Structure 1
């Protein structure tokens, strides 16, 4: 994905997020140069990969297969092992109309996916089989805002603004905006996007960036190279 396209997506995403009264933290707007200058202060931002994330899953077709994310806060995996401390994470995301976030599951992370505003959020759901792969026959059980719901394998769960679903490790899910763009909140256990995303198809989690202009803001996937 070209850096110019990523910069455009970031600008559009910030405007969309603000239209719902949600404001990102101050560090979201730092330039790469400011992040470098303040490197000694921002260990948690870098190590816990807080910040901008624009992915086309390595397929170079963001409008059809992609997702915008911003990680607002994130704990440490060591806290999970200890069973105390900062055990949680939070993201804000945008799923564009008919833009697929592909079928995947998590090993560790449990998450609440929340429709914060916009159109309908549609999720296709499967359970895991004994070997962890998609079970195409098992009924799916999830909780939506405290209410137990059952769907057939591959059933589509539709969430209106204000509604949410709790997905446990092993719940396979793909999602997209239906009828328009959707602002999505995610509240979860500690998040590690480098190791805890298992995709049904062999795709990458992060974009391959072509540097055709300077970055407006760094992506979390830029930190290791730029900082």
Structure 2
């Protein structure tokens, strides 16, 4: 992806989020220079990988295959392993109309996916094989706003604004905006995007960036090299 495209997506996403009454935290507005100047104060942001995350999964087709995310808070894997402390994470996502977030599962993370507003959120579901791999013949059970719902393999769950689904580790899922753009909330156990995303197809989690202009704000994937 070109950096100019990422900058434009950030501006558009910020306006879309505000239109539903959500406000991003102050650090969302910091420039790369301000983040560098505050580097001694922001270990929690950097280590938790809080902030902007825009991906085309390395495929160069963001409008068709991509996702906008902003990580608002993220706990510590050490706390999760010992069973106490900050064991949770929260994100805002935007799924554009017919923009696919491809089929994947998580090994550790359980997550509530919530339609916060906009169009319908479509989620395609499969269960796992006994070893956790993708099984096109496997269904399963999820909870939608606390109510158990069985699903057949490949069933598409349609969530209207206000509705949610709880996905457990091993639940294979892909999703997109049906009929328009959707603001999505994600509340989960500790999030690790570097190691806990298992895709059905051999694709990457992060975009490759072409630096055609300076960044307006840094992506979480920029922190290692920019800070």
Question: What is the TM-score normalised by the length of structure 1?
Answer: 0.99
How far does residue 140 in structure 1 lie from its aligned partner after superposition? 2.0
> 1:48 — aligned with what?
48
Aligned length: 227
How far does residue 107 in structure 1 lie from its aligned partner after superposition? 0.3
The answer as to whether partners of 2:125 and 2:139 remain within 8 angstroms in 1 is: no
Q: Match of 1:128, SS?
A: coil
> 1:207 — aligned with what?
207
> 1:127 — aligned with what?
127
State how far apart, in whole Å, the 1-side matches of 2:216 and 2:158 are.
Answer: 34
How far does residue 131 in structure 1 lie from its aligned partner after superposition? 2.1
Q: Match of 1:134, SS?
A: coil
State how far apart, in whole Å, the 1-side matches of 2:189 and 2:139 are.
Answer: 25
The answer as to whether partners of 2:122 and 2:157 remain within 8 angstroms in 1 is: yes
> 2:10 — aligned with what?
10
| Deviation sequence 1:8-50 (CA, Å, 0-9, x none) | 0000000000000000000000000000000000001001100
How far does residue 136 in structure 1 lie from its aligned partner after superposition? 1.7
When the two chains are superposed, the root-mean-square deviation of aligned CA atoms in Å is: 0.5
| Greater alpha carbon shift after TM alignment, 194-203 vs 137-146 | 137-146
> 2:216 — aligned with what?
216
How far does residue 139 in structure 1 lie from its aligned partner after superposition? 2.4
> 2:190 — aligned with what?
190
Question: What is the TM-score normalised by the length of structure 2?
Answer: 0.99
> 2:169 — aligned with what?
169
Any residues of structure 2 matched to 1:28-67 within 5 Å, and which? Answer: 28-67=28-67
State how far apart, in whole Å, the 2-side matches of 1:185 and 1:145 are.
Answer: 13
Q: Match of 2:138, SS?
A: coil
How far does residue 138 in structure 1 lie from its aligned partner after superposition? 2.3
State how far apart, in whole Å, the 2-side matches of 1:81 and 1:163 are.
Answer: 30
Q: Match of 1:142, SS?
A: strand
| Deviation sequence 1:152-178 (CA, Å, 0-9, x none) | 101000000000000000000000000
Q: Match of 1:135, SS?
A: coil
Runs of 4+ displaced beyond 3 Å:
none
Q: Match of 1:91, SS?
A: strand
Q: Match of 1:218, SS?
A: coil
State how far apart, in whole Å, the 2-side matches of 1:130 and 1:94 are.
Answer: 32
